[in-house]
Structure 1
Amino acid sequence: MSEAHLSTQRIILASASPRRLELLRQIGISPDVHPAHIDETPFDDEAAADYVIRMAREKAAAVASCYTANEMIISADTSVILDNRILGKPRDAEDFISMFIQLSGCMHEVLSAVSLATDGRHGEMLSSSRVWFRDISEAEILAYWETNEPTDKAGGYGIQGKGALFIEKIEGSYSGIMGLPLYETGQLLQRAGYKL
């Protein structure tokens, strides 16, 4: 495939996340958006890293099946891990409050996997970051829930939003915590011949 073709190859984002779309645009990519619909239930005893990599791969595969081999399909999955447990998106206010009481004053891990499917091949990379929350009062937890920001986010918070008020420090990838690790995404695209 020629360099000219690769640099203009159509990119599909297999996600409805506005944050992932914003991050791709940050590096000069304006993808088409085609959300993936898959079963996101973890397997019994599945390690968190294996789970997020599997989710990213399955999302890419599901969307790739709708296109020719010429498109590049980017997908990602992000999980918040506390004491070796995956904290998903809060089901309701009660679930969110329980989750945030556990996160308050603690360090947790954020795993974010990105997958690239093109020409019948798949590649994945994993980003691991650590996030420290300050102590958060019950009143703050309730007020944060009322903003509606936590409802669609792993671990119930967004680092790019009001959730940043609870974060004392991070080690790792800001974009990975946000939902799409840009370093790893760039590496996968460049290995596939896409010119950034």
Structure 2
Amino acid sequence: MQFSAPDPPLNAAVTRPRLVLASNSPRRRQLLTELGLAYEIRLREVEENFPPQLVRAEVAEYLAAHKAAAYAPDLAPDELVVTADTIVCLGNDVLNKPADEAEAVQMLLRLQGRAHDVYTGVCLLHGDGRRVVFSDQTRVHFRPLSLAEIEHYVRQYRPLDKAGAYGAQDWIGMVAVTRLEGSYFNVMGLPVHRVWEELVKLGAVEV
């Protein structure tokens, strides 16, 4: 599946290696497209388990690198795969995607009225063997939420595919998030400022 930015601005990026986005996230597709990058979607099932001794940013980076490794055997020399994984941390507790609506409600009850950290790990794996792994952190502050508000959000938006059971771009982001410290796009699922910086270092884009 090929994606490209329609009618990019005059200073849009020119992609050198062929970019492969290994993600089904519409938010990550949107962000890469808005960067002006052409890319291909390539998907495969990868288990998202991680060693129990890892904490916070280590988890996000491990999962991103683990996903990239699954694509390495089939990556052409002129391709560069982008993988990412976003986690929500309350202290050292990792809140991944909820299993069902009940767990989503319980996650949001824990997050409401408190600050938590969102980490997105990214791996850029070039077909020539070069690999870059990094992560970005954003601190998110939630106002207190009622059970009715939380249940409304979970029922209407079904955030079962989202770490921490919420999307900052959703309704709950508008009514609950009072302050962000760091990149908003990182909370959406991709720290595009860091991705751009690393692609430039790899010689993968030019303007």
The normalised TM-score by structure 1 is 0.93
1:54-90 per-residue CA deviation (whole Å, 9 max, x = no partner) reads 1111112212322212101011111000021000011
Alignment correspondent of 1:120 = 129
Equivalent residue letter for 1:55: L
Matched residue count: 191
User: Cα gap change, 1:166/1:72 in structure 2, threshold over 3 Å: closer, same or farther?
Assistant: same
Tell me which protein shows more helix as a share of its residues. 1
Alignment correspondent of 1:167 = 177
Compute the displacement of 1:149 (Å).
4.1
Alignment correspondent of 1:180 = 190
What root-mean-square deviation, in Å, do the aligned CA atoms of Structure 1 and Structure 2 show? 1.4
Determine if the alignment matches structure 1 residue 129 to structure 2 residue 138.
yes
Cα distance between partner residues in 2 of 1:21 and 1:149: 20
1:53–1:124 CA contact under 8 A, matched in 2:
yes
Cα distance between partner residues in 2 of 1:148 and 1:66: 36
1:90-138 per-residue CA deviation (whole Å, 9 max, x = no partner) reads 1111111111110010000001111100011210121011000011100
145-154 or 76-85, which moves further after superposition?
145-154
Alignment correspondent of 1:51 = 59
The SS at the match of 1:29 is coil
The SS at the match of 1:69 is coil
The SS at the match of 2:24 is coil
2:61–2:133 CA contact under 8 A, matched in 1:
yes
The SS at the match of 1:16 is coil
The SS at the match of 1:42 is coil
Equivalent residue letter for 1:170: L
Alignment correspondent of 2:202 = 192
Determine if the alignment matches structure 1 residue 23 to structure 2 residue 31.
yes
Compute the displacement of 1:44 (Å).
1.7
Cα distance between partner residues in 2 of 1:149 and 1:31: 29
The SS at the match of 2:74 is coil
Once the two structures are superposed, the pairs formed by residues 41-80 of structure 1 within 5 Å of their partners are: 41-80=49-88
Cα distance between partner residues in 1 of 2:136 and 2:57: 9
Alignment correspondent of 1:3 = none
Alignment correspondent of 2:46 = 38
The SS at the match of 1:47 is coil
2:106 is aligned, of 85, 98, 120, to 98
Aligned-residue identity in percent: 35
Determine if the alignment matches structure 1 residue 88 to structure 2 residue 88.
no
The SS at the match of 1:147 is helix
The SS at the match of 2:159 is helix
Compute the displacement of 1:35 (Å).
2.2
Unaligned runs of 5+ in 1: 1-5
